[in-house]
Structure 1
């Protein structure tokens, strides 16, 4: 059996193929409009504006920002110039309403030990609150006008008072049942 080799050539008896076209003819080129600025606009823009106004404008590179020097280390004079962002009343109210402060104070009152970072934050916050209270003239001591509650000298009096309250409660309970 003989093998017939295939060929790409079309026989005279076969169907006629249309002639090939070049790829460039199939692809339609269109320019994308509206994407970014034109090439070289940062250099030509200043020159064009200077030419239009007719003024002798110094050439300035728009890529660079401010040339003002910035101090990397603050002096004592510069540090004193910095103003607080809030009034003392506002800052005190904000510190006292802090949820972290209340949580840490609850932990301390509960007898828990705090981490070193939490203890430092708590100490610094309480110190700041004390400074603000001194500035505002608020004292955290008990006022002198209020007399201290009298302390009963004997425990028998307090036990008798408690027993009387208990009996009154039982009397009220009996009235409620009726």
Structure 2
């Protein structure tokens, strides 16, 4: 920005004060309007309500909403015949939802890949004792795993023997054969 030099003569500092006569002439009067009715009419709540003109010729209107037709609280003979003639047996039967059945191989793979079961198995291997829901879950899954292994013929002991041929040698007692001990 460019610098503007100060001058000794300045313009008006504020708005010029008008004399009272000029101020009255400049003032505009607000048009007088009727007040809006805000709220209820003044008076006692116990005073009788003013009669209003009703457009319908039915007299006083019931302030309650809804249908005014009477409802019978007792079953009539005609209604009883209609009920008796209908077959009121349920059309559909409710049953518990069944989980889709998995093949034993799929179920075994699902149990072996279960992260929760693996974490619980690690805790049991470390010697921790499971309690409550964890123990029930662990017991149920391991029992089902044992059933599936037996059902599919995948015995873990047989697999170990096939993988380790020296295991059979370790199981036999050589002292009896070599030394002839009983």
TM range (shorter): 0.3 to 0.5
Which one has a larger percent helix, Structure 1 or Structure 2? Answer: 1
TM-score normalised per structure 2: 0.38
TM (norm. structure 1) is 0.39
